[in-house]
Amino acid sequence: MFEKLKGVEQRFEQVEKLLSDPQIVQDQAVYRKYVREHADLNKIVSVYRRYKQILQDLEESRDLLKDNDPEIKDLAGDEIAALSQEKETLEGELKSLLLPKDPSDEKNVIVEIRAGTGGEEAALFAGDLFRMFTRYAENRNWKVEVMSQHPTGVGGFKEIIVMIQGKGAYSAFKYESGTHRVQRVPTTETQGRIHTSAVTVAVLPEAEEVDLKIDPSELKIDVYRSTGPGGQSVNTTDSAVRITHLPTGLVVTCQDEKSQLKNKNKAMRVLRARLMDQMLQEQMEKRSEERKSQVGTGDRSGRIRTYNFPQGRVTDHRIGLTLYKLDNILQGDLDELIEGLTTYYQSQALQHAETSGQ
């Protein structure tokens, strides 16, 4: 652990020098990348330096135990007890800080919500989840921007894609990927029977140009006339954009804006995030099953959470947490769920690191 900490401290000092390099400062994309790295390393280095000071203070206090004065010996003993306790606390903190960090944690996030099984009821619940995520983000003063939407006309969505901008947005939302199941009586149900529907959620960190370069020659860009409800120019000009990434076959469309340029920019942001996510998923598949469980991003195809309206409960199946506060959660009160998931996956990663001797 100590060799790794020394390496972190050396890297911290290197990054500090890079941040004062005029060439780095001129390239804002690269400069921001180093600023983020500096902030992350600073969290570890500040604790490590305090830990080194504790070790030095302990050594000095142990020397005082050899003093002939009983009073000094007693004071040294008390000091050693307090320092030893702090040393143990800092060691635990350093182990947690040294766990592999998801480099995307501080990034903005793209959340894709799609109605699954359940027809119109699933589309309505997709709308509920969209509003739940939006309220959670707004409570943190994060900006929410709709990138693309396919409404059903009665408050639901076949699909809606949103960008949430704010420091740490991805770390808060990354465990929402997967299938969200809802159990309730639809408004159209005359017999009072409970129906089960599903909505899938995909969470992608925003990929900046510095993270992923896309060759323009690999893109096929089509423009066409928007369809569906909109302003007076939405349906009369070729403002909608469809971008196809030829090597992968990924297709992104956007028609929400009146401006073709704005639609193209939005579509490119979604495409870049999907390509980065695809690349990361491929990397994960090459790792061992043990390593994948350590990362703990969750299986997108798996059922992760059930929202039961008759009982007013929400159950997260990954950590076995059930909360009887459905209304509050749908209003964006997700803190308890997110904290529970974060703590669980961090403890899993810590156990893995300890058993593998990392």
Which H/E stretch holds residue 324? none
Q: What is the pLDDT of residue 343?
A: 85
Q: Which fold has domain 2-97?
A: Methane Monooxygenase Hydroxylase; Chain G, domain 1 (1.20.58)
Euclidean distance between CA atoms 234 and 259, whole angstroms = 9
Q: What's this model's pTM, rounded to 2 decimal places?
A: 0.65
Strand bridging mode 303-308 / 178-184 = parallel
Q: How far is CA 18 from its chain centroid? A: 27
Residue range 310-322: average pLDDT? 94
* Residue 315 · residue 321 · CB < 8 Å: yes
Tokens for 257, please give them. 């804006």
Q: Which top CATH class is 216-284?
A: alpha beta
Beta bridge partners of 202: 112
Q: What is the average pLDDT across 175-192?
A: 85
pLDDT in tens, 119-145: 889 999 999 999 999 999 999 999 999
Q: What is the mean pLDDT of the chain?
A: 84
Compute the average pLDDT of residues 215-220. 88
How do residues 260-297 score in pLDDT, each as one tens digit?
888 888 888 888 888 888 877 776 665 444 334 333 33
Residue 228 pLDDT: 56
* Contact call for residues 169 and 145 (beta carbons, < 8 A): no
**Domain assignments of the chain as residue spans, ordered by start:** 2-97, 109-210+296-355, 216-284
Provide, rounded to the nearest whole percent, the portion of the chain with pLDDT above 90.
Answer: 40
Query: What's the alpha-carbon Rg for the chain, to the nearest Å?
Result: 26
With cut-offs at 50, 70 and 90, classify the pLDDT of residue 94: confident
pLDDT score of 215: 85
Find the helix or strand (DSSP H, E) in which 200 lies: strand 195-205
Evaluate whether 34 touches 19 at the Cβ level (below 8 Å).
Answer: yes
What average pLDDT score do residues 85-96 get?
Answer: 87
Find tokens 């990929």 and name the residue: 207
- The DSSP string of 290-337 is HHHHHH----TTSEEEEEETTTTEEEETTTTEEES-HHHHHTT--HHH
Look at the block and give the residue holding tokens 């000009």.
Answer: 237
Question: What integer pLDDT is reported at residue 354 of this predicted model?
Answer: 64
Is the pLDDT confidence value at 335 over 70?
yes
- Retrieve residue 260's tokens: 């073709």
Please give the DSSP secondary-structure letter assigned to residue 230: -
DSSP-assigned states of every residue in 77-144: HHHHHHHHHHHHHHHHHHHHHTSPP-TTTTS-EEEEEEE-TTHHHHHHHHHHHHHHHHHHHHHTT-EE
CATH number of the domain located at residue range(s) 109-210+296-355 in this protein: 3.30.70.1660
Return phi, psi of residue 356, to 5°: -95, 0
Kindly report the number of other CB atoms within 10 A of residue 165's CB atom. 14
Mean pLDDT of 25-37: 87
Write down the pLDDT at residue 114. 93
* Res 272: pLDDT: 86
Give the C-alpha separation, 121 to 264, whole Å.
32
